[in-house]
Chain A
């Protein structure tokens, strides 16, 4: 078996050994199950009673984004210690004293962490999907596809945190990544609000200005989430600039991974 796949497998096994991993998964599933109470409530908007399917659709979209945001935090926490932990516990020497290319090691570690978080997120999203289905009979087409779409964000975050932790202390890398996501959310979120139908209906004269170039080129993590949300809602998606957000994030992943591999190849162990 390819060494990359072996290291990916070891990474998944090493991360899953923590009991806290299962406790967290259990807590998250509990949260998802608790949310199901929202689907059976009676909600009135502008004097009209909302039907349970519309409500379930709306709530599950919010829960989808909450789960994704939680997973961002989890992937940051898992990725930030990859190098320092491997260095301290002897794993780095275990792998690199063998005929393992540094690229295989680093990509295996990242792929393992990403895959684990992807599965974790998919389980939670699938739990929401099944809950809505069983509770209301409505099948939210695109919910699971949307989950896979936002997994590209998990990969971006894993690669970014690893790259930063190569040059900065672990905690600073995590904080820097959270800051970068925050700036993206403010920039892209503001753009989405300005282009929303609600705002256009409320202020018909409001004309959103053209965003600055840095905002167009900034990593489109929020936009990927918004795109995934539009898949769930089967609504139109207002992109910022000509580049699809998935392509934008993918380009960033490739660039940062290249920098990471180059930096790690020069690093002395």
Chain B
């Protein structure tokens, strides 16, 4: 589903991503872990075509990410999700639905379905300027889930959410597993990653230190946090 081949991304002389090769299979729930500045967000930006790799190639479903068609069926939630303040949550979701090809009566049906999923029914007509960070995050998640995506790229999806919101996100991701949706999760919340993902890659200084299933990298008595700190402090 996702394929990064020898990807390097340099900002001036600094390599934010340093010769990374990663393959994520279809239906895999994959988490990218690393401290601040490790290069996780740069990878997400390259996956979405927002930034171009200095060298190497990136494919989504065998389509190079430089082609916008690669983003067909891809849902994305940014870490600091922004909604234009003059749009309501409903307007925002309608725009997303329209851009991915929904038309006519399908738009309100799909938008209504997702407003229920993210528990924003009843608040959707308010302007986003009145939304809290968590509410914006919920609308952003609904936008990412529009049209039943085959790949979800989530950059800190639980940022700003209360414990109930975090649990809701976890449940949503759990339900997606049955639909074989591939999830690429970028998170600092190791306990959440442990609950929602099967595979993790730990990054530091632009390099992937390890990529394997959580079961394989966690030894007896350890937590993901212990493993994370062990790799990062190496």
Contact = CB atoms under 8 A, between A and B. Distances in A.
Interface of A: 1, 3, 6, 10, 14, 17, 88-91, 93-102, 266, 268-269
Contact of A90 (B45, B50, B70, B81): B81
Contact of B99 (A6, A90, A102, A268): A6
A96 B96 contact: no
A17 B82 CA distance: 19
A interface SS class: helix
B147 to A, nearest CB: 10
A100 B48 CA distance: 11
A60 to B, nearest CB: 37
Given A89-B82, A99-B71, A94 B96 contact: yes
Interface of B: 45, 48-52, 68-72, 74, 76, 78, 81-86, 92, 95-96, 98-100, 103
Contact of A96 (B48, B83, B92): B48
Contacts of A266: 52
A14 B72 CA distance: 25
A97 B84 contact: no
Contacts of A268: 45, 50-52
A144 to B, nearest CB: 33
A95 B98 CA distance: 11
Contacts of A17: 86
Given A89-B84, A268-B51, A94 B69 contact: no
Contacts of A89: 82-85
A269 B85 CA distance: 20
A85 to B, nearest CB: 9
B49 A91 contact: no
Nearest to B42: A268
Contacts of A3: 99
A95 B51 contact: no
B51 A269 contact: yes
A199 to B, nearest CB: 52
Nearest to A266: B52
Given A90-B81, A93-B78, A99-B71, A269 B45 contact: yes
B100 A98 contact: yes
